[in-house]
Amino acid sequence: MRRRGRVTVSAFRQHRGHAFRTSSRLALALAFLFAAGCATTSGADPWEKSNRKVFAFNEGLDRYVLEPVAKSWDWVVPELVQTGIRNIFDHANRPLVMMHNLLQGKPYDASVDLVRFTANTIFGLGGLIDVASMDGMARNEEDWGQTLGVWGVPEGNYVMLPLFGPSTVRQTVGLAADSFSAPYSYYIPIWGTVVTTGTRLLNARAFYLEEIQQSREDAFDYYLFVRDAYLQNLASKLNDSTELESEDDDDLYYFDDEETDSGKGDRDRGL
């Protein structure tokens, strides 16, 4: 038993060391990207030519892989279960949202996050049921990209990321920071991370099957539609203003399943 315990600790330390080295390299690479992007006007799209190529790649991947699988998921998995999965992922992210509200100097919003997390943990079966939203409690959404924006970091150029979708230089740096700031990311094995991330993406994509199809048909230039909607919503979140009424149009591409009350009615408000 002791020998097995030592092996476990050693493996854990190796995993942490690997994660630290990986994050350091990623942070260094993003620093160069960040420096290049922040030298230009906020929200500009000087990389449009390459962005459109990445966008076409993402669209092809979505149309021929993700969308068909999401349709099967939507047909097999009951709506009630999909809502529960979405609630659980939102619940797991709530402590980080509370942390960002504190970092942004918003103690009241942080207290709301704490109450929401506590209520859903105790009365919502560990976050499976969103009783806080049922009771009309606000659901704040914050991340490292927004926190950096509040701290005065320039937005940088608009960039279309492979697989991840629309972003800006600042949000890309924030995305990398988000992936390493969650404490549980250092304890869950890689295969567990892949499974949970895949489940979250697939479940989120299933929420917007009809909306994405409709937006593709209606938009004269879907690339411009996605870009403009994303940047508008990003500015709205940074200013803590009211969310866009058009179902957070950036979600029609980005699948940011943590934020809106849209998608198949109000089912994400609870079970």
Specify the pLDDT at position 246. 39
Structure token digits, residue 129: 């049921």
Residue 189 pLDDT level (bands cut at 50, 70, 90): confident
pLDDT at 40 exceeding the cut of 80: no
Residue 157: inside a domain: yes
Residue 201: inside a domain: yes
Closest alpha carbon to 111 in 121, 120, 102: 102
Specify the pLDDT at position 271. 66
As a whole-number percent, the residues of the chain with pLDDT over 70 amount to: 71
Specify the pLDDT at position 69. 97
- In this structure, are residues 270 and 130 in contact, taking their beta carbons and an 8 Å threshold? yes
Q: 184-188, 226-230, 255-259 — which is least confidently predicted? A: 255-259
Residue 149: inside a domain: yes
φ, ψ at 142 (rounded to 5°): -135, 155
pLDDT at 270 exceeding the cut of 80: no
Specify the pLDDT at position 192. 83
Could you report the per-residue pLDDT of 62-91, keeping only the tens digit for each?
999 999 999 999 999 999 999 999 999 999
Q: How far apart are CA 148 and CA 38, in angstroms?
A: 13
Domain span holding position 75: 2-38+48-269
Side-chain half-sphere CA neighbours of 271 within 13 A: 17
Residue 43: inside a domain: no
Residue 265: inside a domain: yes
pLDDT at 252 exceeding the cut of 80: no
pLDDT at 58 exceeding the cut of 80: yes
Dihedral angle computed from the Cα positions of residues 252, 204, 182 and 9, in that order, rounded to the nearest 10 degrees: -140
Residue 112: inside a domain: yes
- The more confidently predicted of residues 249 and 191 is 191
pTM score, two decimals? 0.72
pLDDT at 158 exceeding the cut of 70: yes
Residue 233: inside a domain: yes
Q: How far apart are CA 1 and CA 182, in angstroms?
A: 30
Indicate the number of domains in the chain. Answer: 1
What percentage of the chain's residues is helix, strand, coil (to nearest 5)? 70, 5, 30
Specify the pLDDT at position 206. 94
Q: 48-62, 118-132, 168-182 — which is least confidently predicted? A: 168-182
pLDDT mean over 162-189: 86
- The more confidently predicted of residues 162 and 24 is 162
Q: Which of 216-225, 236-245, 261-270 shows the highest mean pLDDT?
A: 216-225
pLDDT mean over 202-223: 94
Residue 213 pLDDT level (bands cut at 50, 70, 90): very high
Termini Cα distance of the chain:
43
Residue 1 pLDDT level (bands cut at 50, 70, 90): very low
